[in-house]
Chains A and B, each alone.
Chain A
């Protein structure tokens, strides 16, 4: 379709260095298309057979003022020829489209790393907007600390698109494809997947297709022909287990996992939801699949969202509500109702920075207290947490299995980092996944009395569906008599029912796997983690094990109840370290339950843990010094960079 006159490019004639992995970040203005650029780089790398892990990081504003520090949007990709579990710590390459992006991202670039800057956006007004007194690209420190490439992207794009009928503004919008093409050359990536994407995405706009592909190829040629770029890098295929893979984000994996759970249990799915960042993509995704029997209701508010789901559960459907922390707070009373009604329901919380509106687009795992105890009265419910994007697929099914087996709402925790990040997913054969058995009581003849709160051996009650003859019964939020379900305020009964609801949730521990340990079964220190910090904790512990330290790693999937063997494991190590992106919530539960003096490593900066900060903390806990890694930045460079961890 393309009418470009630039020759298709395939192989470099320059020197190629083989490297095991690399971490690249694209950073620019919110309107610069950095998310798209990052996503394209990720897809291409995954299709080339790399393992990939991503970290999109963007502001809450749709379009913050141009060129400001607050408006910087970034997308980080870690791609590797080995298994990886994090989006990477220090950057090997950083692309900055303007001075604000340089300022907010430079501190993450490793010494000697590649820095590509769009020279055309470093005019006086641009760097002043970012708070620089002089053009930072003229700084000698920058030149000496990094491999700096000042590329006049806007001008090069304009030249390449001379014959294009697009307006100047439209042409300028192609510069993200130029940045992408340059990085493609740098890492020997194939242009074909992105060319395919552009052709599909802009199928009705041939001029845009031409322009984007021309910009992409022009950049590749720029890398190949400009003397500035002396050599490129190659990251080989990762040795992943055999099978067919797809690059998948956490929210899509969650949606597909829910659909699979519905299919495996013979149910149609109902989602009651209210739009909220970063959970809305699950609503969007599920809304597409009406032919799969998926019913979605965009409710008038968070409360209606969960209440409609409870109504659907009462009617016998697989019922779900999705939200983030502020929405979960609004749902609190209704979650209590579901606990009292003892109906199956999945309450999915894609956590974000809090409290209140907090940091809508930034990640945090500070809703664990809310999940486990955030309701009035004694109101226990099982809580499960996903550890990575692809893991959401499995967690959704596991949560529904427990929810239906025990007739209880289950809280499913994910977070913004998992939800928006992506990784390769080994596509399962659905026909080989385990079925989820659900029984409903059948009709009763007249004279027999139906007892809605008569329980089975695990204390689960029957799921009786309206429309079934002879099973008419009344349930509600008032305390009820055991077995009959009739309203009952007697002191002994309330104590008994409270104990029963608690014991039922404890019984979940008998139906979940025992906790596994990565590393030796005893030792000096155990790292205990949950949720989205899995990859960083796993990688940090692996690094320490390679160094010969006596450490191990346990990652919890179920936060309530804990696995039956957890206490024994915790007592097998001299120290327990619990890193969390909150101020110590799991640690509080662990200390309270087991009276173990677990140590915390906590931060809430809207960003995931870096592996190296965890390694340093582990060493510190073990009384060892620094591992000799040089500090990432010199004082001189620090002047050019904003404060570390300032997001952007």
Chain B
């Protein structure tokens, strides 16, 4: 298709539409980071498509000067699967939220991941239904008091990364809206991945669930509550890099470095591990018992549905020719009336 024009800027990726998120919403930061990342990826704007479902995050495509579809609740992965199946030349992003992806769209989310369609799924997790004004979501913690749970939520929340890894996602990462540098690097890694790339972004809803991620963003606590993953490196955290994660049997445990514990004793991060077990273990490390990992949990290669489908077409065409309808219709048993 077309070649990348020289030196696109973030402004080139901004549409002419007024942005209608609440002032202070975490979505603004994610939008800004996306506009900064895309010019670096070398994909022309006309070859970039954003598809979303329903929810605050799903307004995202309107604000990008690319192709975009604001579809229906939960169905963006299905629509994107169809698009990518016929147009593997396009870079397709799916923008979704915790309710959109894990509640109403749960089925499409898991099947899209299992097919490993080459899509970039960015899940804005604010642990609340914002657009419908404050009901609990499938990632809201137990006991969460909302308009629809005045006595506290009694259903166990899902971990988006656990779900994705459970479906054997080939790329799984997590980042935080306000951590713009880390978010930019994470989105870039997702864009570079071939296959379904799933990124959970901790996003603050300052109107209906303000402070949900404070533990992970507060400058006084974040060194103890967040652990940044680096491929091939041991899991070390803390302001003074003095704590680490060690495996005790099959369970992770927090240990203090020194006092007889060396970095070599710690769990080493391996995002290329062919089995999802290691990545799943990381996804089970939840606040407050553990620091929560951010960065790339898993990045492996596996057949991609869209490429496989188009490969089948090419092979069939080269083996059997482009197909002759007249020959097909006249095949098998026919008879002629004079």
Contact = CB atoms under 8 A, between A and B. Distances in A.
B70 A256 contact: no
B86 A304 contact: no
B81 A308 contact: yes
Contacts of B89: 467
A308 B46 contact: no
Contact of A307 (B47, B78, B335): B78
B337 A474 contact: no
Interface in B41-73: 44-47, 49, 51, 54, 61-62, 64-72
Given A307-B71, A307-B82, 15 more contacts: A47-B335, A246-B329, A246-B333, A256-B329, A270-B85, A291-B323, A295-B313, A300-B110, A312-B86, A316-B87, A317-B86, A334-B72, A474-B17, A474-B61, A475-B69
Contact of B78 (A308, A317, A427): A308
A112 interface: no
A431 interface: yes
> B61, B313, B322 — which one has the most chain A CB atoms within 10 A of its CB?
B313
B333 A47 contact: yes
B302 interface: no
A-B residue pairs, 8 tightest by C-beta: A476-B70, A311-B82, A308-B82, A292-B323, A311-B83, A290-B316, A307-B78, A304-B78
A131 interface: no
Interface residues of B, number: 63
A472 B75 contact: no
A289 B313 CA distance: 9
Interface in B213-256: none
Interface of B: 1-2, 15, 17, 44-47, 49, 51, 54, 61-62, 64-72, 75, 78-87, 89-90, 107-108, 110-111, 309-310, 312-313, 315-317, 319-323, 325-326, 328-330, 332-338
Nearest to A297: B85
B136 to A, nearest CB: 23
Nearest to A245: B335
A471 B44 CA distance: 12
A46 interface: yes
A260 B328 CA distance: 11
Interface stretch (A208-216, A235-243, A537-545, A552-560): A235-243
Contact of B46 (A46, A272, A471): A471
Contact of A243 (B45, B78, B337): B337
B71 to A, nearest CB: 6
A295 B336 CA distance: 33
A308 to B, nearest CB: 3
A123 B82 CA distance: 57
A385 to B, nearest CB: 23
Contact of B70 (A260, A300, A468, A477): A477
A394 to B, nearest CB: 13
Contacts of A469: 2, 44, 46
A341 B86 CA distance: 18
Nearest to A248: B329
Contact of A474 (B15, B85, B322, B325): B15
A359 interface: no
> A237, A315, A474 — which one has the most chain B CB atoms within 10 A of its CB?
A474
Contacts of B46: 466-472
Contacts of B335: 46-47, 49, 244-245
B3 to A, nearest CB: 10
Nearest to B323: A292
Contacts of B110: 300
B325 A310 contact: no
B67 A429 contact: no
A173 to B, nearest CB: 24
5 contacts: A246-B333, A259-B325, A314-B79, A430-B325, A466-B83
Contacts, number: 203
A477 to B, nearest CB: 6
Contacts of B69: 314, 341, 474-476
Contacts of B337: 49, 237, 239-245
Contacts of B333: 43, 46-47, 193, 246-247
A486 interface: yes
A301 interface: yes
> A247, A308, A316, A337 — which one has the most chain B CB atoms within 10 A of its CB?
A308
Given A304-B111, A311-B83, A314-B69, A476 B322 contact: no
B72 A333 contact: yes
B68 A268 contact: no
B209 to A, nearest CB: 24
A592 to B, nearest CB: 30
Interface of A: 43, 46-47, 49, 193, 237, 239-247, 256, 259-260, 263, 268, 270, 272, 289-293, 295, 297, 299-301, 303-304, 307-312, 314-317, 319, 333-334, 337, 341, 427-431, 466-478, 486-487
B259 to A, nearest CB: 51
B107 A467 contact: no
B338 to A, nearest CB: 6
> B79, B82, B83 — which one has the most chain A CB atoms within 10 A of its CB?
B82
Contacts of A430: 325-326, 329
A487 B62 contact: yes
A194 to B, nearest CB: 11
A506 to B, nearest CB: 26
Contacts of B87: 315-316, 466-467
A246 B319 CA distance: 27
Contacts of A301: 107
B78 A487 contact: no
> B69, B85, B86, B323 — which one has the most chain A CB atoms within 10 A of its CB?
B86
Nearest to A333: B72
B330 A311 contact: no
B81 A297 contact: yes
Contact of B316 (A193, A291, A337, A341): A291
A472 B66 contact: yes
A293 B312 CA distance: 10
A432 B108 CA distance: 42
Contact of A272 (B15, B49, B82, B326): B82
A308 B319 contact: no
A249 to B, nearest CB: 13
